[in-house]
Amino acid sequence: MVTEFEITLSRANNEEYEQRILNERNEDGNVVPHRVDTIGTDWNAKYMTVKGRMPVVVHGFESQGSDVGYSLAVFEWQIVRNSNKRRFRKVTLEVVFEADGPRGKAEGDAERMRSKGTASRTYWDPEVMAFAPDGTAWYQRSQREVVNKTAWTVDLKAGYAPFLSAGPQYAWSKSESHTCTEGIQVSGERAFVGGEGSRTRANAVRWTLLENPNQVTGVSALIRTAVLLKRRPKDDGRFIGIVKADYEISKYQDARRSALLALGKLPKNEPIVFDPNVATEKSVWHANSNALAAIVPDLKKEFSLVSLELIGDESSGSRDEEPDEEGEVEDGLVDDDDDGNETE
């Protein structure tokens, strides 16, 4: 079966994409670093919302007396479903780090390397040393019974060797059952982003959430993550964090969003600016600022996963659209039917 639908692009840049985040400027027009709100509503603000915050930033050094800078950033991601007729099947959160401008105390070294042509464009970008969560794990597990049936039919009988002749049919069948355990999958990985193939160190971190296929109630409502960065010796220059969120809602919405992105119709959040020379709000990690490399084993404590979804008939997600409070169908869309097709 072939399903066709028209993608409407006329509503870009209106209330559907509100709450885009820009950097604050001081009285001199300079960017104020370490903004708390990292990402606003990334898609369909009325019904589906992804928001990000950065409550903790710590700048320091690898170890006592070292001139190798380290930086810690903790992120909170709020995944809000304002309509129980849609859900996030998959969410990918990515933060890319790049050096920005002069390299502070290391600018002399940077200038010499530029004059000799010995450093690539990506040389001063921060390196991802550790992050949480790291790897793949499953949470909020559920179980279901899986039954496999196998059948054989034989309609031959033995005759005088080596001949066989047709005869009555005989059938055998065997049934096997086992329990399948599934859950919300959370994966964290390093990534090499940009650099046109010249990058030798990971400068990005990516987290992916997949819904529990048993419950089909979407991904978790809140996830807290962390990343520890290493900077070049003496480098205390600014760097930026480019925050991206990508996800799957339905075939129609995903295709529409891809088209808007390709046409440049979706406004972007400004990159977060990090400045090691600017003091940040105190946290429990500031006591380790002169030996941040030592916190790697404890970084996993920052990871948390919270689900606000109710399990049962109310949250199982009806596939049929109902009118909203104003008596209109949301966006004029009907979500995926049993075949995974969406209609307008």
Q: Are 98 and 194 in contact (CB under 8 A)?
A: yes
What pLDDT is attached to residue 153? 60
Written as six digits, the tokens of 154 are: 């034989």
What pLDDT is attached to residue 329? 34
What pLDDT is attached to residue 119? 77
User: In angstroms, how far is the first alpha carbon of the chain from the final one?
Assistant: 17
Distance CA 214, CA 183 (A): 8
Beta strands in the chain (DSSP E): 37-39, 48-61, 68-81, 90-99, 127-132, 135-158, 164-191, 204-210, 222-233, 239-248, 272-274, 304-306
Written as six digits, the tokens of 260 are: 């808007």
What pLDDT is attached to residue 160? 52
Domain ranges across the chain: 15-143+183-332
The SS3 call for residue 3 is: coil
Distance CA 333, CA 26 (A): 44
Write out the H or E segment, with its range, that includes residue 111: helix 107-116
Angle in degrees, CA 306, 310, 315, rounded to 5: 125
Q: Are 70 and 231 in contact (CB under 8 A)?
A: yes
**Tens digit of pLDDT at every position of the chain (344 positions):** 443 333 334 434 444 444 578 899 999 999 999 999 998 755 555 667 788 999 999 999 999 999 999 999 999 998 887 777 778 888 999 999 999 999 999 999 999 999 988 878 899 999 999 999 999 988 866 655 655 666 666 555 555 555 545 555 556 566 666 555 567 889 999 999 988 777 889 999 999 999 888 777 778 788 999 999 999 999 999 999 999 888 777 676 667 767 776 776 667 789 999 999 999 999 999 999 999 999 999 999 999 888 644 444 333 333 333 333 333 333 333 344 444 444 33
CA-based R_g, the chain, Å: 27
